[in-house]
Amino acid sequence: MATDTATGKARKFFGTDGIRGRTNSDVMTSEMAMKVGQAAGGHFMRGAHRHRVVIGKDTRLSGYMLESALVAGFTSVGMDVIMTGPLPTPAIALLTREMRADLGVMISASHNPYEDNGIKLFGPDGYKLSDKDEVEIEKLLELQPALVDASQIGRARRIDDARGRYIHAVKQSVSSDVRFDTLKVVVDCANGAAYQVAPSVIWELGAEVITLGVTPNGTNINDGVGSTSLGALQAKVVEEKADIGIALDGDADRLIVVDEKGEAVDGDQLMALIATRMHEKGQLTGGGVVATVMSNLGLERYLDSIGLTLERTKVGDRYVLERMKKGGFNIGGEQSGHMILSDYATTGDGTIAAMRVLASLVRSDVPASQLMHVFDRVPQLLKNVRFEGSDPLEDDSVKAVIAEAEAELEGKGRLVIRKSGTEPLVRVMAEGDDATQVESVVDRICDAVKAAI
Protein backbone atom coordinates (compact mmCIF):
# COMPACT_ATOMS: atom_id res chain seq x y z
CA MET A 1 0.00 0.00 0.00
CA ALA A 2 1.28 3.48 -0.86
CA THR A 3 0.08 7.03 -0.34
CA ASP A 4 -1.13 9.38 -3.03
CA THR A 5 1.14 12.41 -2.81
CA ALA A 6 -1.62 14.68 -4.06
CA THR A 7 -4.33 13.71 -1.59
CA GLY A 8 -2.37 12.07 1.21
CA LYS A 9 -4.75 9.11 1.10
CA ALA A 10 -3.53 5.51 1.14
CA ARG A 11 -3.89 3.59 -2.10
CA LYS A 12 -5.27 0.11 -1.67
CA PHE A 13 -3.54 -1.76 -4.49
CA PHE A 14 -0.67 0.29 -5.93
CA GLY A 15 2.66 0.41 -4.12
CA THR A 16 5.82 2.32 -4.98
CA ASP A 17 6.23 0.31 -8.19
CA GLY A 18 2.85 -0.86 -9.44
CA ILE A 19 0.83 -3.69 -7.94
CA ARG A 20 2.81 -6.54 -6.43
CA GLY A 21 2.23 -9.59 -4.25
CA ARG A 22 2.46 -13.34 -3.87
CA THR A 23 0.92 -15.09 -6.86
CA ASN A 24 -2.52 -16.68 -6.37
CA SER A 25 -2.81 -14.80 -3.10
CA ASP A 26 -4.04 -11.40 -2.00
CA VAL A 27 -3.95 -8.96 -4.96
CA MET A 28 -1.90 -11.00 -7.43
CA THR A 29 -4.52 -13.35 -8.86
CA SER A 30 -5.75 -13.90 -12.40
CA GLU A 31 -9.07 -12.34 -11.39
CA MET A 32 -7.28 -9.21 -10.20
CA ALA A 33 -5.13 -9.06 -13.33
CA MET A 34 -8.24 -9.16 -15.52
CA LYS A 35 -9.79 -6.36 -13.46
CA VAL A 36 -6.61 -4.30 -13.82
CA GLY A 37 -6.79 -4.78 -17.58
CA GLN A 38 -10.40 -3.66 -17.63
CA ALA A 39 -9.83 -0.70 -15.31
CA ALA A 40 -6.59 0.53 -16.90
CA GLY A 41 -8.03 -0.05 -20.36
CA GLY A 42 -11.13 1.93 -19.48
CA HIS A 43 -9.04 4.76 -18.06
CA PHE A 44 -6.94 5.07 -21.22
CA MET A 45 -9.79 4.63 -23.74
CA ARG A 46 -9.66 8.24 -24.90
CA GLY A 47 -10.64 9.36 -28.35
CA ALA A 48 -12.14 7.55 -31.33
CA HIS A 49 -8.99 5.74 -32.56
CA ARG A 50 -8.39 2.02 -32.22
CA HIS A 51 -6.74 1.64 -28.82
CA ARG A 52 -3.90 -0.76 -28.04
CA VAL A 53 -1.66 -1.88 -25.21
CA VAL A 54 1.82 -3.44 -25.20
CA ILE A 55 2.31 -6.26 -22.66
CA GLY A 56 5.70 -7.67 -21.68
CA LYS A 57 6.82 -9.95 -18.88
CA ASP A 58 9.82 -11.45 -17.16
CA THR A 59 10.41 -15.21 -16.87
CA ARG A 60 8.25 -16.17 -13.87
CA LEU A 61 6.02 -19.19 -14.23
CA SER A 62 3.02 -17.09 -13.21
CA GLY A 63 3.64 -14.69 -16.09
CA TYR A 64 1.66 -16.90 -18.46
CA MET A 65 -1.38 -16.85 -16.19
CA LEU A 66 -1.30 -13.11 -15.55
CA GLU A 67 -0.61 -12.31 -19.20
CA SER A 68 -3.68 -14.29 -20.29
CA ALA A 69 -5.83 -12.60 -17.66
CA LEU A 70 -4.64 -9.14 -18.65
CA VAL A 71 -5.31 -9.90 -22.31
CA ALA A 72 -8.85 -10.94 -21.39
CA GLY A 73 -9.35 -7.74 -19.42
CA PHE A 74 -8.03 -5.37 -22.06
CA THR A 75 -9.79 -7.00 -25.00
CA SER A 76 -13.10 -7.11 -23.11
CA VAL A 77 -13.12 -3.29 -22.93
CA GLY A 78 -12.13 -2.92 -26.57
CA MET A 79 -8.34 -2.62 -26.50
CA ASP A 80 -6.08 -4.45 -28.93
CA VAL A 81 -3.13 -6.21 -27.30
CA ILE A 82 0.45 -6.59 -28.50
CA MET A 83 2.48 -9.20 -26.58
CA THR A 84 6.28 -9.18 -26.65
CA GLY A 85 7.19 -12.15 -24.45
CA PRO A 86 10.11 -11.82 -21.98
CA LEU A 87 11.72 -8.38 -22.24
CA PRO A 88 13.16 -5.88 -19.73
CA THR A 89 10.85 -3.33 -18.17
CA PRO A 90 12.56 -0.42 -19.99
CA ALA A 91 12.00 -2.21 -23.29
CA ILE A 92 8.25 -2.17 -22.67
CA ALA A 93 8.40 1.54 -21.84
CA LEU A 94 10.29 2.13 -25.09
CA LEU A 95 7.92 0.04 -27.24
CA THR A 96 4.84 1.67 -25.73
CA ARG A 97 6.02 5.02 -27.00
CA GLU A 98 7.53 3.83 -30.30
CA MET A 99 4.45 1.84 -31.29
CA ARG A 100 2.13 4.70 -30.31
CA ALA A 101 0.29 2.50 -27.85
CA ASP A 102 -2.11 3.98 -25.34
CA LEU A 103 -0.69 1.95 -22.47
CA GLY A 104 2.19 -0.37 -21.60
CA VAL A 105 2.20 -3.20 -19.06
CA MET A 106 5.14 -5.09 -17.57
CA ILE A 107 4.40 -8.27 -15.63
CA SER A 108 7.22 -8.57 -13.11
CA ALA A 109 8.07 -8.44 -9.43
CA SER A 110 11.56 -7.16 -10.20
CA HIS A 111 14.10 -8.55 -7.69
CA ASN A 112 11.54 -10.54 -5.67
CA PRO A 113 11.51 -14.38 -5.70
CA TYR A 114 9.52 -16.25 -8.34
CA GLU A 115 6.52 -16.81 -6.06
CA ASP A 116 5.79 -13.07 -6.28
CA ASN A 117 4.68 -11.17 -9.32
CA GLY A 118 3.55 -7.68 -10.17
CA ILE A 119 1.96 -5.39 -12.74
CA LYS A 120 3.69 -2.17 -13.76
CA LEU A 121 1.88 0.33 -15.98
CA PHE A 122 3.25 2.90 -18.43
CA GLY A 123 1.39 5.74 -20.09
CA PRO A 124 1.53 6.47 -23.84
CA ASP A 125 4.64 8.62 -23.28
CA GLY A 126 6.56 5.62 -21.90
CA TYR A 127 6.65 6.97 -18.34
CA LYS A 128 5.28 5.20 -15.27
CA LEU A 129 1.85 6.37 -14.29
CA SER A 130 1.36 9.33 -11.99
CA ASP A 131 -0.23 8.97 -8.57
CA LYS A 132 -3.32 10.63 -10.03
CA ASP A 133 -3.68 8.02 -12.78
CA GLU A 134 -3.22 5.19 -10.28
CA VAL A 135 -5.89 6.62 -7.99
CA GLU A 136 -8.32 6.83 -10.91
CA ILE A 137 -7.60 3.24 -11.93
CA GLU A 138 -8.15 2.10 -8.33
CA LYS A 139 -11.57 3.73 -8.38
CA LEU A 140 -12.45 1.81 -11.55
CA LEU A 141 -11.31 -1.45 -9.95
CA GLU A 142 -14.20 -1.12 -7.51
CA LEU A 143 -16.78 -0.59 -10.28
CA GLN A 144 -18.34 -2.80 -12.93
CA PRO A 145 -16.21 -2.64 -16.10
CA ALA A 146 -17.55 -0.95 -19.22
CA LEU A 147 -17.61 -4.03 -21.44
CA VAL A 148 -17.90 -3.37 -25.17
CA ASP A 149 -20.27 -4.89 -27.69
CA ALA A 150 -19.16 -8.24 -29.11
CA SER A 151 -18.23 -6.57 -32.40
CA GLN A 152 -15.81 -4.21 -30.60
CA ILE A 153 -13.85 -6.77 -28.56
CA GLY A 154 -10.10 -6.26 -29.01
CA ARG A 155 -7.67 -8.51 -30.84
CA ALA A 156 -4.42 -9.94 -29.45
CA ARG A 157 -1.18 -10.78 -31.26
CA ARG A 158 2.47 -11.47 -30.53
CA ILE A 159 5.26 -9.59 -32.27
CA ASP A 160 8.64 -11.07 -33.19
CA ASP A 161 10.82 -7.98 -33.65
CA ALA A 162 10.51 -6.50 -30.14
CA ARG A 163 13.87 -7.89 -28.99
CA GLY A 164 15.71 -6.46 -32.00
CA ARG A 165 14.10 -3.06 -31.56
CA TYR A 166 15.31 -2.85 -27.98
CA ILE A 167 18.84 -4.08 -28.77
CA HIS A 168 19.13 -1.40 -31.45
CA ALA A 169 17.98 1.30 -29.01
CA VAL A 170 20.49 0.21 -26.36
CA LYS A 171 23.37 0.28 -28.85
CA GLN A 172 22.40 3.83 -29.80
CA SER A 173 23.05 4.96 -26.22
CA VAL A 174 26.82 4.93 -26.80
CA SER A 175 28.80 6.72 -29.50
CA SER A 176 29.12 4.90 -32.80
CA ASP A 177 32.92 4.83 -32.43
CA VAL A 178 32.79 2.94 -29.12
CA ARG A 179 33.70 -0.74 -29.22
CA PHE A 180 34.19 -3.23 -26.38
CA ASP A 181 36.66 -5.49 -28.24
CA THR A 182 39.26 -5.22 -25.48
CA LEU A 183 36.87 -6.25 -22.69
CA LYS A 184 36.05 -9.57 -21.11
CA VAL A 185 32.67 -9.17 -19.44
CA VAL A 186 30.66 -11.51 -17.22
CA VAL A 187 26.95 -10.76 -17.63
CA ASP A 188 24.50 -12.02 -14.98
CA CYS A 189 20.88 -11.71 -16.10
CA ALA A 190 19.27 -13.17 -12.94
CA ASN A 191 17.47 -15.79 -15.08
CA GLY A 192 15.18 -12.89 -15.82
CA ALA A 193 13.81 -10.68 -18.55
CA ALA A 194 17.18 -9.67 -20.06
CA TYR A 195 18.56 -13.19 -20.46
CA GLN A 196 18.67 -12.82 -24.24
CA VAL A 197 19.04 -9.11 -24.92
CA ALA A 198 21.76 -8.03 -22.46
CA PRO A 199 24.43 -10.58 -23.47
CA SER A 200 23.56 -10.01 -27.14
CA VAL A 201 24.04 -6.26 -27.13
CA ILE A 202 27.38 -6.42 -25.26
CA TRP A 203 28.62 -9.19 -27.56
CA GLU A 204 27.53 -7.30 -30.68
CA LEU A 205 29.70 -4.37 -29.57
CA GLY A 206 32.74 -6.65 -29.54
CA ALA A 207 33.22 -7.87 -25.97
CA GLU A 208 34.06 -11.41 -24.97
CA VAL A 209 30.93 -12.33 -23.00
CA ILE A 210 30.61 -14.96 -20.28
CA THR A 211 27.04 -15.48 -19.11
CA LEU A 212 25.34 -16.30 -15.82
CA GLY A 213 21.63 -16.51 -15.08
CA VAL A 214 20.55 -17.05 -18.69
CA THR A 215 18.66 -20.35 -18.32
CA PRO A 216 15.26 -19.39 -16.89
CA ASN A 217 12.87 -22.21 -16.04
CA GLY A 218 10.04 -20.22 -14.48
CA THR A 219 11.13 -20.70 -10.88
CA ASN A 220 14.82 -19.72 -10.77
CA ILE A 221 14.55 -15.97 -11.38
CA ASN A 222 16.78 -14.09 -8.88
CA ASP A 223 17.67 -17.43 -7.26
CA GLY A 224 21.35 -17.18 -6.33
CA VAL A 225 22.01 -14.85 -9.25
CA GLY A 226 21.39 -11.24 -10.23
CA SER A 227 21.91 -7.85 -8.64
CA THR A 228 20.63 -8.92 -5.22
CA SER A 229 22.72 -12.11 -5.04
CA LEU A 230 26.22 -11.29 -6.25
CA GLY A 231 28.24 -14.25 -4.95
CA ALA A 232 28.20 -16.27 -8.17
CA LEU A 233 29.11 -13.26 -10.29
CA GLN A 234 31.92 -12.20 -7.99
CA ALA A 235 33.43 -15.70 -8.09
CA LYS A 236 33.08 -15.96 -11.88
CA VAL A 237 34.73 -12.59 -12.54
CA VAL A 238 37.78 -13.59 -10.50
CA GLU A 239 37.86 -17.13 -11.92
CA GLU A 240 37.70 -15.93 -15.52
CA LYS A 241 40.05 -12.98 -14.92
CA ALA A 242 37.37 -10.79 -16.46
CA ASP A 243 37.62 -7.01 -16.66
CA ILE A 244 34.19 -6.44 -15.15
CA GLY A 245 30.94 -8.12 -14.13
CA ILE A 246 27.45 -6.82 -14.90
CA ALA A 247 24.52 -7.84 -12.67
CA LEU A 248 20.91 -7.11 -13.59
CA ASP A 249 17.76 -7.92 -11.64
CA GLY A 250 14.69 -9.89 -12.71
CA ASP A 251 13.23 -7.19 -14.95
CA ALA A 252 16.60 -5.54 -15.78
CA ASP A 253 15.77 -2.04 -14.62
CA ARG A 254 18.65 -1.98 -12.15
CA LEU A 255 22.41 -2.54 -12.38
CA ILE A 256 25.12 -3.49 -9.92
CA VAL A 257 28.72 -3.90 -11.13
CA VAL A 258 31.54 -6.15 -9.93
CA ASP A 259 35.10 -4.98 -10.56
CA GLU A 260 37.99 -7.19 -11.67
CA LYS A 261 38.83 -7.97 -8.04
CA GLY A 262 35.33 -9.29 -7.37
CA GLU A 263 34.25 -6.25 -5.35
CA ALA A 264 30.69 -4.95 -5.73
CA VAL A 265 30.06 -1.41 -6.96
CA ASP A 266 26.63 -0.02 -6.08
CA GLY A 267 24.39 2.52 -7.76
CA ASP A 268 25.84 5.48 -5.87
CA GLN A 269 29.33 4.93 -7.29
CA LEU A 270 27.91 4.29 -10.77
CA MET A 271 25.90 7.53 -10.67
CA ALA A 272 29.01 9.38 -9.55
CA LEU A 273 31.04 7.91 -12.43
CA ILE A 274 28.46 8.60 -15.13
CA ALA A 275 27.68 12.09 -13.82
CA THR A 276 31.37 12.99 -13.66
CA ARG A 277 32.00 11.92 -17.26
CA MET A 278 28.93 13.77 -18.53
CA HIS A 279 29.81 16.86 -16.50
CA GLU A 280 33.31 16.88 -18.02
CA LYS A 281 31.77 16.75 -21.50
CA GLY A 282 29.22 19.47 -20.78
CA GLN A 283 26.37 16.95 -21.18
CA LEU A 284 25.02 16.99 -17.63
CA THR A 285 21.83 18.99 -17.12
CA GLY A 286 20.14 20.24 -13.97
CA GLY A 287 23.41 20.97 -12.19
CA GLY A 288 23.63 17.64 -10.43
CA VAL A 289 22.06 14.26 -9.78
CA VAL A 290 18.74 13.10 -8.33
CA ALA A 291 18.82 10.20 -5.86
CA THR A 292 16.80 8.99 -2.90
CA VAL A 293 17.15 9.41 0.84
CA MET A 294 19.01 6.06 0.87
CA SER A 295 22.01 7.26 -1.17
CA ASN A 296 25.26 7.53 0.74
CA LEU A 297 26.35 10.80 2.28
CA GLY A 298 29.71 10.27 0.57
CA LEU A 299 28.03 10.75 -2.82
CA GLU A 300 26.56 14.05 -1.69
CA ARG A 301 29.92 15.27 -0.41
CA TYR A 302 31.69 14.19 -3.62
CA LEU A 303 29.22 15.94 -5.92
CA ASP A 304 29.48 19.08 -3.82
CA SER A 305 33.27 18.98 -4.19
CA ILE A 306 32.99 19.21 -8.00
CA GLY A 307 30.30 21.89 -7.96
CA LEU A 308 27.26 19.64 -8.37
CA THR A 309 24.22 19.06 -6.20
CA LEU A 310 22.47 15.94 -4.96
CA GLU A 311 18.69 16.27 -4.94
CA ARG A 312 17.04 13.67 -2.69
CA THR A 313 13.57 12.15 -3.02
CA LYS A 314 11.67 9.45 -1.18
CA VAL A 315 12.43 5.88 -2.20
CA GLY A 316 11.12 4.77 -5.59
CA ASP A 317 12.50 5.40 -9.05
CA ARG A 318 9.20 7.01 -10.09
CA TYR A 319 9.80 9.77 -7.54
CA VAL A 320 13.36 10.18 -8.76
CA LEU A 321 12.06 10.59 -12.29
CA GLU A 322 9.41 13.10 -11.23
CA ARG A 323 12.11 15.28 -9.66
CA MET A 324 14.35 14.86 -12.71
CA LYS A 325 11.59 16.05 -15.03
CA LYS A 326 10.71 18.96 -12.77
CA GLY A 327 14.31 20.16 -12.40
CA GLY A 328 15.66 19.32 -15.84
CA PHE A 329 18.09 16.65 -14.62
CA ASN A 330 19.24 13.88 -16.97
CA ILE A 331 20.81 11.53 -14.40
CA GLY A 332 19.08 10.00 -11.42
CA GLY A 333 18.85 6.72 -9.62
CA GLU A 334 19.00 4.68 -6.48
CA GLN A 335 21.78 3.08 -4.49
CA SER A 336 20.12 -0.27 -5.21
CA GLY A 337 21.03 0.12 -8.88
CA HIS A 338 18.08 1.78 -10.57
CA MET A 339 19.75 4.12 -13.04
CA ILE A 340 17.68 6.60 -15.03
CA LEU A 341 19.50 8.22 -17.94
CA SER A 342 16.70 10.30 -19.38
CA ASP A 343 18.57 11.16 -22.58
CA TYR A 344 18.07 7.52 -23.57
CA ALA A 345 15.19 6.03 -21.55
CA THR A 346 11.98 6.99 -19.75
CA THR A 347 12.58 4.64 -16.82
CA GLY A 348 15.42 2.82 -15.08
CA ASP A 349 17.44 0.74 -17.53
CA GLY A 350 20.22 -1.50 -16.21
CA THR A 351 21.48 -2.45 -19.68
CA ILE A 352 21.79 1.14 -20.90
CA ALA A 353 23.56 2.08 -17.67
CA ALA A 354 25.93 -0.84 -18.26
CA MET A 355 26.71 0.54 -21.72
CA ARG A 356 27.80 3.84 -20.19
CA VAL A 357 29.98 2.09 -17.62
CA LEU A 358 31.62 -0.16 -20.22
CA ALA A 359 32.24 2.81 -22.51
CA SER A 360 33.97 4.66 -19.66
CA LEU A 361 36.06 1.58 -18.89
CA VAL A 362 37.23 1.29 -22.50
CA ARG A 363 38.14 4.96 -22.72
CA SER A 364 39.85 5.21 -19.33
CA ASP A 365 42.43 2.47 -19.85
CA VAL A 366 42.48 1.82 -16.08
CA PRO A 367 41.09 -1.19 -14.15
CA ALA A 368 37.44 -1.15 -13.10
CA SER A 369 38.45 -1.11 -9.42
CA GLN A 370 40.25 2.19 -9.97
CA LEU A 371 37.74 3.76 -12.33
CA MET A 372 34.68 3.09 -10.21
CA HIS A 373 36.00 4.06 -6.80
CA VAL A 374 34.86 7.63 -7.33
CA PHE A 375 34.27 8.62 -3.71
CA ASP A 376 34.81 7.24 -0.21
CA ARG A 377 31.61 5.93 1.30
CA VAL A 378 30.49 7.12 4.70
CA PRO A 379 29.82 4.15 7.02
CA GLN A 380 26.23 3.13 6.34
CA LEU A 381 24.14 0.25 7.64
CA LEU A 382 20.73 -0.95 6.48
CA LYS A 383 18.72 -3.66 8.23
CA ASN A 384 15.23 -4.96 7.53
CA VAL A 385 12.64 -6.20 10.01
CA ARG A 386 9.73 -8.24 8.64
CA PHE A 387 6.35 -7.66 10.25
CA GLU A 388 2.70 -8.65 9.98
CA GLY A 389 -0.37 -6.76 11.07
CA SER A 390 -0.33 -3.21 12.38
CA ASP A 391 2.40 -0.69 11.68
CA PRO A 392 5.16 -1.07 14.32
CA LEU A 393 6.41 2.45 13.55
CA GLU A 394 3.26 3.82 15.22
CA ASP A 395 4.22 2.20 18.55
CA ASP A 396 5.15 4.80 21.17
CA SER A 397 8.18 2.84 22.38
CA VAL A 398 9.55 2.66 18.83
CA LYS A 399 8.97 6.38 18.34
CA ALA A 400 10.89 7.09 21.52
CA VAL A 401 13.92 5.05 20.45
CA ILE A 402 13.89 6.72 17.03
CA ALA A 403 13.80 10.18 18.63
CA GLU A 404 16.80 9.31 20.81
CA ALA A 405 18.72 8.05 17.79
CA GLU A 406 17.95 11.19 15.76
CA ALA A 407 19.24 13.35 18.58
CA GLU A 408 22.39 11.25 18.83
CA LEU A 409 23.15 11.54 15.09
CA GLU A 410 22.27 15.21 14.74
CA GLY A 411 25.08 16.96 12.89
CA LYS A 412 27.03 13.70 12.58
CA GLY A 413 25.01 11.61 10.16
CA ARG A 414 21.57 10.62 8.88
CA LEU A 415 18.79 8.27 9.90
CA VAL A 416 16.16 6.95 7.45
CA ILE A 417 13.36 4.66 8.63
CA ARG A 418 10.57 3.59 6.32
CA LYS A 419 8.23 0.79 5.41
CA SER A 420 8.96 -0.96 2.13
CA GLY A 421 6.53 -0.20 -0.64
CA THR A 422 6.83 -3.72 -2.09
CA GLU A 423 7.30 -6.06 0.91
CA PRO A 424 6.08 -6.21 4.56
CA LEU A 425 9.36 -4.85 5.87
CA VAL A 426 10.53 -1.97 8.02
CA ARG A 427 13.82 -0.68 6.66
CA VAL A 428 16.21 0.97 9.12
CA MET A 429 19.20 2.84 7.71
CA ALA A 430 21.74 5.02 9.47
CA GLU A 431 25.01 6.54 8.33
CA GLY A 432 27.71 8.69 9.86
CA ASP A 433 31.46 9.00 10.20
CA ASP A 434 31.52 6.73 13.28
CA ALA A 435 30.76 3.15 12.14
CA THR A 436 30.34 1.88 15.71
CA GLN A 437 27.77 4.53 16.49
CA VAL A 438 25.89 3.78 13.25
CA GLU A 439 25.68 0.06 14.08
CA SER A 440 24.51 0.78 17.61
CA VAL A 441 21.75 3.11 16.41
CA VAL A 442 20.43 0.65 13.82
CA ASP A 443 20.46 -2.30 16.22
CA ARG A 444 18.60 -0.39 18.92
CA ILE A 445 15.84 0.66 16.53
CA CYS A 446 15.53 -2.84 15.04
CA ASP A 447 15.27 -4.32 18.54
CA ALA A 448 12.53 -1.84 19.39
CA VAL A 449 10.60 -2.67 16.21
CA LYS A 450 10.87 -6.41 16.91
CA ALA A 451 9.66 -5.91 20.45
CA ALA A 452 6.67 -3.91 19.19
CA ILE A 453 5.78 -6.66 16.73
Q: Residue 7, SS3?
A: coil
Helix crossing, 30-44 with 131-141: angle to 10°? 120
The catalytic position among 110, 173, 200, 295 is 110
How do strand 156-158 and strand 80-86 relate by DSSP bridges? parallel
Specify the amino acid at residue 363: R
Query: For residues 277 and 284, what is the distance between their CA atoms, to the nearest angstrom?
Result: 9
Residues contacting residue 368 through CB under 8 Å, at least 6 positions apart: 243, 244, 257, 259, 260, 265, 361
- Cα angle, residue 273 at apex, residues 272 and 275 outer, rounded to 5°: 65
Residues 346 and 125: their CA atoms lie apart, in Å, by: 8
Task: Indicate the DSSP class of residue 175.
Answer: -
Paired strand residues for 10: 3
336 in active site: no
The DSSP bridge pattern shows strands 103-107 and 116-122 to be antiparallel
For residue 350, the Cα-to-chain-centroid distance in whole angstroms is 8
Neighbours of 176 (CB within 10 A): 7
> From CA 408, how far away is CA 416, in angstroms rounded?
14
Q: Can you give the C-alpha Rg of the chain in angstroms?
A: 22
In DSSP terms, which residues pair with 106 in a beta bridge? 56, 120
Q: What residue ranges in 19-86 does DSSP mark as E strands? A: 19-22, 52-57, 80-86
Q: Do 337 and 266 touch, CB atoms closer than 8 A? A: yes
What CA–CA distance (Å, rounded) separates 288 from 330? 9
> Between vectors from CA 63 to CA 31 and to CA 161, what angle results, nearest 5°?
125
Give the catalytic positions in this structure: 110
